[in-house]
A = this chain, B = another copy of it.
């Protein structure tokens, strides 16, 4: 079992969700994160004091999946999340030793 994690631009989440949907992915978990990297931030000014905001809002998408589907899923996410502009983000894959569906206690692939 694998876990595909993607850190993407907020706007792209919907496209990514649809792309995964199209692949028949049944579920996913997302969370708000903030990213620091090549993409530059912006400036804010309050009563003459200037602040540079370096961290930008990003969305983390996590998908648990069977190893067989990993490549399809990674490609789908990369494709849907790409805008071609700096800050599009990263996608990475890690190994998962066990998955359980809380409701039924099913394990492994059945849990997805």
Q: How large is the interface on A (under 10, 10 to 19, 20 to 34, 35 or more residues)?
A: 35 or more
Assuming the contacts A30-B34, A31-B31, A78-B105, asked whether A98 and B92 have C-beta atoms less than 8 A apart, the reply is: yes
Complex alpha-carbon distance, A103 and B38, angstroms? 12
Query: Closest residue to A96 on the B side, CB-wise?
Result: B92
Residues of chain B within 8 A of A96, CB atoms compared: 92-94
- Distance (Å) between the CB of A41 and the closest chain B CB? 13
Complex alpha-carbon distance, A89 and B85, angstroms? 35
Q: Answer whether residue A36 sits at the interface, using C-beta atoms and an 8 A cutoff.
A: yes
Assuming the contacts A34-B29, A37-B26, asked whether A74 and B95 have C-beta atoms less than 8 A apart, the reply is: no
Contact among B17, B37, B93 with A27 in the assembled complex (CB-CB below 8 Å): B37
